Structure 1
Amino acid sequence: MARTYPSRWQQIGLELPLEPQFSREDFLISNSNADALRMIEAWPHWPESVLLLIGERGSGKSHLAAIWAAQARAEIFSGASLASADVAALAEMPALVIDAVDEIGAAEAPLFHLLNLARQGRRSLLLTAQRRPDLWSLKTPDLLSRLRLAPVVELGAPDDALLQSVLGKLFRDRQLLVDPSVIDFIALHIDRSLEVARAFVELIDRVALARGSAVTRSLARELLIDATDERD
């Protein structure tokens, strides 16, 4: 299910969405992310100074990156902003996260420079991406070679247990008491994405508030059907 929901629900704006909580305490562990978390927490004893974290959109990459940034006191930059960044200033930072590094566009030279610094032992770099470097359409062979040397850890799609746990926490964060059977129903029918889970909880909370009703299975079913009909 896409993040965009039926247009008639988009008119409901009773509250601002809650900001995602990216602390270690808020990270829920399952088989789909346990290996990645262990590697993140193994720093500074990584096998190399660069780590590549791979996962589809909504798999939890940004949360893990934020956990590592807090641990390593690293600055976080987006891949899309690297082309306009002050590379000299970045080169002075001991630890960096480049989030969505596969969106660097023409900024291959700055990334190559940062990788070289990391290889020389002067920097720790965490790079997040949806796919492995061979699929980024890079034009710089040496950059691709450097990236291929980096250890890779992959996040799987959220499994049932994780999706249910995340949905439960998202509802609790909004002080909503929701029957576990409703949470199970939502988890079964939305895409396996933490981003979609957040969006759907925000949506159903707004609609329930607008109607003065509880979050129920029938309301969840109505919104899911509406979303499916509008996509079709």
Structure 2
Amino acid sequence: MRDTAPPKQLAFDLPLDPRYGAEDFLVSPSNEEAYGLIEAWPDWPDTVFLLRGPPGSGKSHLASIWASRAQAWTVSAAEVGHGDVAHLISNGALVVEDVDREAGRDEAALFHLLNLARERRFSVLLTASGPVDGFGLKVADLRSRLRLAPGAEIGPPDDALLKAVIVKLFVDRQLVVDLSVVEALALRIDRSLARAREIVAELDRDALGRRRRISKPLALAVLDRLGGEDGTDEPEPEDDEP
């Protein structure tokens, strides 16, 4: 008997550019202190500000908001070398991402950059995933300087923020889903915005490949396939809507 089931559609994993405008940042109790301190610039207590938070927590988004306001350049810590410092400070404001990442990091150049920032009164916003003592720094003066830098930490998202971010992730992909899908995801996934981004991307690929809408049963099936999620409900039968 001939199989009449519709062919599975090939899903292309195209890059999705995140929207980093101020109007796209969702403020909640987990990030309002960091947001407030970013908003307080240029009235910072120091020339250097350290923004910490887990991957996907919104550090780069906040840094982008500040960079737009301060007309700052943005570089990774690995791009700061001794030969680059004079050029980098010429702009008057700078974002240095991932100062906790050891690969390619020139600690002496970073320390020189921060000293010049203080001397010449230009602003530097640093981002990192965790506390300074976990950076693996070998230059004691740089470690001490970063410990003393004022800053803020973005905490794990609360329920309201997690749900709002999931909705935004679907909207960014021009996907319309029922509220029950958002509720099911927020209840079961790790409390992480990075994880929410991964799950929504996987759901998008899966739904496109199956040529189906994103429903709660499909969301539960994808979570079950990926594993490691905290599910409490019994599985529901898959719907048969195309």
SS at match of 2:30: coil
Q: CA deviation at 1:35?
A: 0.7
Report the TM-score when normalising by structure 1: 0.88
Q: CA deviation at 1:88?
A: 2.1
Which of 45, 48, 70 is matched with 2:46 structurally? Answer: 48
Q: Decide which moves more: 80-89 or 117-126.
A: 80-89
Q: Does 1:17 align with 2:15?
A: yes
- Residue 117 of structure 1 is matched in structure 2 by 116
Change (3 A) 1:208 1:133: same
Q: What's the CA shift string for 1:107-135, capped at 9, x where partnerless?
A: 11111111111212431000001112222
Q: CA deviation at 1:15?
A: 5.2
Give runs of aligned pairs for residues 99-110 of structure 1, distance below 5 A: 99-105=97-103, 106-110=105-109
CA RMSD of superposed structures (Å): 1.8
- Residue 136 of structure 1 is matched in structure 2 by 135
Q: Does 1:190 align with 2:161?
A: no
In the alignment, the residues of structure 2 paired with residue 170 and residue 185 of structure 1 have an alpha-carbon distance, to the nearest angstrom, of 15
Letter in 1 for 2:212: S
Change (3 A) 1:161 1:218: same
Is the 8 Å Cα contact of residues 48 and 151 (structure 1) preserved in structure 2?
A: yes
Is the 8 Å Cα contact of residues 14 and 210 (structure 1) preserved in structure 2?
A: no
Q: CA deviation at 1:85?
A: 6.4
Letter in 2 for 1:132: P
Q: Tell me, which stretches of 5 or more residues in structure 1 are unaligned? A: 1-10
Larger RCO (alpha carbons 8 Å, 6+ apart): 1
Q: What's the CA shift string for 1:183-225, capped at 9, x where partnerless?
A: 0111122222222222221211121122121111111111111
Is the 8 Å Cα contact of residues 57 and 130 (structure 1) preserved in structure 2?
A: yes
Q: What is the count of residue pairs matched by the alignment?
A: 219
Q: Decide which moves more: 104-113 or 146-155.
A: 104-113
In the alignment, the residues of structure 1 paired with residue 206 and residue 179 of structure 2 have an alpha-carbon distance, to the nearest angstrom, of 19
Report the TM-score when normalising by structure 2: 0.85
Q: What's the CA shift string for 1:125-184, capped at 9, x where partnerless?
A: 000011122221211111122112210200001111111001111112222221111101
Change (3 A) 1:150 1:16: same
Change (3 A) 1:150 1:12: farther
In the alignment, the residues of structure 1 paired with residue 97 and residue 10 of structure 2 have an alpha-carbon distance, to the nearest angstrom, of 32
Q: Tell me, which stretches of 5 or more residues in structure 2 are unaligned? A: 1-8, 229-242
Letter in 1 for 2:32: A
Q: CA deviation at 1:84?
A: 8.0
Change (3 A) 1:121 1:84: closer
In the alignment, the residues of structure 2 paired with residue 222 and residue 80 of structure 1 have an alpha-carbon distance, to the nearest angstrom, of 40
In the alignment, the residues of structure 2 paired with residue 205 and residue 134 of structure 1 have an alpha-carbon distance, to the nearest angstrom, of 39
Change (3 A) 1:215 1:226: same
Q: What's the CA shift string for 1:80-120, capped at 9, x where partnerless?
A: 33248622211322001111111145411111111111212
SS at match of 2:26: coil
Bigger radius of gyration among the two: 2
Is the 8 Å Cα contact of residues 55 and 129 (structure 2) preserved in structure 1?
A: yes
- Residue 58 of structure 1 is matched in structure 2 by 56
Q: Decide which moves more: 20-29 or 74-83.
A: 74-83
- Residue 77 of structure 2 is matched in structure 1 by 79
In the alignment, the residues of structure 2 paired with residue 83 and residue 104 of structure 1 have an alpha-carbon distance, to the nearest angstrom, of 13
Is the 8 Å Cα contact of residues 75 and 97 (structure 1) preserved in structure 2?
A: yes
In the alignment, the residues of structure 2 paired with residue 62 and residue 85 of structure 1 have an alpha-carbon distance, to the nearest angstrom, of 25
- Residue 200 of structure 2 is matched in structure 1 by 201
- Residue 5 of structure 2 is matched in structure 1 by none
- Residue 163 of structure 2 is matched in structure 1 by 164
- Residue 87 of structure 2 is matched in structure 1 by 89
Letter in 2 for 1:80: A
